[in-house]
Amino acid sequence: MDQLLPNPMPRSVAWLGYGGLLPFLVLAPASLVDPHHAKLWSDAMFSYGAVILTFVGALHWGFAMTLRDLSASRRTRCFVWSVVPALLAWSAFLFSPMLASVLLVAGFLTHYWQDRSLIAASHLPGWYLPLRFRLTSVACICLTAGAFAETW
């Protein structure tokens, strides 16, 4: 796959990746500064977080289908892992904002750990893991802030 993706990060990837943080960066502060609508803003952020966690999980399904240098067992683990973030994201809707935040943050952090493991077993562009780290960090900080919004 590294032959398909250039090694400086493509500009479109940067725009789309960092642009995808905008809902987090708008909804987290809104949930903290607007106490009358904190639940609305934090619920919107948790919903967006669940969608994004599902999306990043699906990346591993795509990697399992396309990376030629994966062993059969690693490929199976990628397929299996790819559905776990969606299950975590869905289950977050069943709990209080604090528990939803914990589930979503745990899902993002575990997915980053899975990305690190995949990088060690395969070839992905050099920009992939640093980008995932930055996106994961911002999402987790915002989701954590949103968990406290209703308690202020």
The predicted structure's pLDDT at residue 1: 43
Per the structure, the count of domains in the chain is: 1
Q: Is 136 a domain residue?
A: yes
Cα gap 28→141, rounded to integer Å: 9
Taking only the tens of pLDDT, the chain with its 152 residues reads 444 556 799 999 999 999 999 999 999 999 999 989 999 999 999 999 999 999 999 999 999 999 999 999 999 999 999 999 999 999 999 999 899 999 999 999 999 999 999 999 898 999 999 999 999 999 999 999 988 886 66
Asked if residue 10 is part of any domain, the answer here is no
Flag whether 7 is in a domain.
Answer: no
Residue 143 located in a structural domain: yes
Does 127 reside within a domain?
yes
Let me know if residue 144 belongs to a domain. Answer: yes
Per-residue model confidence (pLDDT) at position 2: 41
Contacts 24+ apart (CB under 8 A), 17-24: 17/131, 17/135, 18/135, 20/52, 20/135, 21/135, 21/138, 21/139, 23/48, 24/48, 24/49, 24/138, 24/139, 24/142, 24/143
**The total number of residues written for the chain in this structure:** 152
**Nearest CA among 28, 49, 32, 30 for reference residue 151:** 32
Residue 11, domain member (yes or no): no
Residue 4 lies in a domain: no
pLDDT at 6: 61
133 is in which domain, residue-wise? 23-151
Structural contact between residues 1 and 67, judged by C-beta atoms closer than 8 angstroms = yes
